[in-house]
Amino acid sequence: MNDGLAGERQADAMQVVMIGLGEEKFALDAGLVREIIDPVPVTKVAGARAFVPSVINVRGNVIPLADLRIRFGMPQLDDTAETRIVVIELDLDGEPVLVGVTADKVYEVTEISQTDVQQTPRVGMHWKPEFIRFIAKWREEFVIVPNMERILN
């Protein structure tokens, strides 16, 4: 027995990669994350939707680079020494799709438990509730577990 398969048996714990976007913290399901890389040169795609403005080369694959900050109506910051690209694999209409997500900072890989989960509050949020799977608590802070399929579709 081993811990890597814990998700199979313990449905209430969830491995996440904690990233920072602007002032907010987001928890990405670690099962989606393929790798985390330093920023690379981007290629703008004219005519693409604002939240997938460009493509990048990740190990010989050309993949879209998504900017969640645009989706959440947050200001875009210039790249800093802490900026990273989190490469995730999503299932879009039954097809696995690799997508890069710009993060202003990557904190750590950690576990949040469903007992920490807060129902999505309807008030006081300046973003669309359907983009959020749920809110969890991490180190006394509220973090957003985003619904990536919804955000990118």
Residues interacting with another protein, by CB under 8 A? 1-5, 7-8, 31, 40-41, 43-49, 52, 55-57, 60-64, 66, 92-93, 95-99, 152
Q: Which CB atom, from 93 or from 140, has the smaller least distance to another protein?
A: 93
Q: Which CB atom, from 61 or from 118, has the smaller least distance to another protein?
A: 61
Is 85 within 8 Å of 103 (Cβ atoms)? yes
Q: Which CB atom, from 62 or from 77, has the smaller least distance to another protein?
A: 62
Q: Which CB atom, from 2 or from 119, has the smaller least distance to another protein?
A: 2
Say which amino acid occupies 110.
T
- The Cβ of residue 31 has, within 10 Å, a number of other Cβ atoms equal to 12
Is 85 within 8 Å of 36 (Cβ atoms)? yes
* Dist CA 33 CA 103 (whole Å): 13
DSSP state of 79: P
Minimum distance from CB of 51 to another protein (Å)?
9
Minimum distance from CB of 57 to another protein (Å)?
5
Task: Please name every residue paired with 97 in a beta bridge, in sequence order, or none if there are none.
Answer: 90
Minimum distance from CB of 133 to another protein (Å)?
19
Minimum distance from CB of 139 to another protein (Å)?
25
Closest to 86 (Cα-Cα) out of 71, 72, 103, 70: 103
